[in-house]
Amino acid sequence: MSAVNGQVSKMDRAGHLRSNQATLDELWAKAKIVHCSDGRLAVSLNATELRFLKATDVAELIKSGEFNAGEKYFLGLDQLDSQPYFAWSSDHPKSQSDDAPAGYATLRDIGGDLDELQMELALHSVALSNWHKTHPHCARCGAQTSVAMGGAIRTCDTDKSEHYPRTDSAVIVLVRDANDRILLGRQAIWPEGRFSCFAGFLEPGETFEQCVQREVFEESGIAVREINYLGSQPWPFPASIMISFEAITDFPEAARPDGEEIVQIKWLSRTELNSQVADGSLSMPPAMSVSRKMIDRWLHA
């Protein structure tokens, strides 16, 4: 059974380089830099790929006052040519505008167009930027924290404790029945017609398999078996990793939306899915999402 997302990393995160600030400074001087600003990424004119900055570009943007100094995070080295990459998280002054500057787009907007290397860089950059922005203070004493180890951690300025980026584990499940139909659900907050797989966060003391059973039962009222791992995907919205599974139910007729998180469900054959996508009554999850990859994998099996 092929994995949904099992590609080898294009990047060497080179953790051994993070502790030497002089080395990081040398790498920054020749780096390709991913710019994160106000939750958006610098993109090309046609918004189909990242627009990398150079260290001199960053210096000029800060000098001009267009962006604040922000923070630098070391992303690693390209596995092929050892090209260093950094993320620069810096916002434009709120006094100028509350709108994002031209040439920037969200990861959701451009994720479907990025190649594997750029997608990996974008996910890493956004995840780090999100975490650093929400952890300016020490969880132990409340004092200010500072970037350390090239952005891999923050340290407390007062008690010197180390704080590591948080990643929230979540499962996402493609449910099938004996006739190889899939069950999809719709949340009220989604665009009209959008359906996707069932998902939810792992709770303390719970295995992934137990989480799959609980979440599917809570959201659709059915029990599942034959839980198989498919793959995983970083999902920094704001700080998750999606662990994908498929599962079988013997009780398709018992499926009911919970009425809170899930307001509508559909059993779909391949013919029904294609027909409803074609007539516009059903829309698929975004192309960059693991849920879309799971559905596409089943659709073309």
Q: Is 97 part of any domain?
A: yes
Domain count, the chain: 3
pLDDT at 2: 39
CATH of the domain at 32: 3.90.79
Same structural domain, 113 and 173 = no
CATH of the domain at 221: 3.90.79.10
pLDDT, tens digit (0-9, with 9 covering 90-100), for 271-291: 999 999 999 999 999 999 999
Same structural domain, 28 and 65 = yes
Q: Is 3 part of any domain?
A: no
Same structural domain, 141 and 130 = no
Domain C-terminal end among 165, 183, 210: 165
pTM exceeding the 0.85 threshold for the entire prediction? yes
Same structural domain, 174 and 197 = yes
Same structural domain, 83 and 196 = no
Same structural domain, 18 and 101 = yes
Same structural domain, 173 and 279 = yes
pLDDT at 96 over 60: no
For β-strands 168-176 and 198-201, DSSP reports them as antiparallel
pLDDT, tens digit (0-9, with 9 covering 90-100), for 149-203: 999 999 999 999 999 999 999 999 999 999 999 999 999 999 999 999 999 999 9
Range of the domain at 25: 11-134
pLDDT at 12: 97
Same structural domain, 118 and 75 = yes
Q: Which pair of tokens denotes residue 215?
A: 């979440």
Same structural domain, 48 and 88 = yes
pLDDT at 265 over 80: yes
Q: What mean pLDDT is predicted for residues 18-22?
A: 96
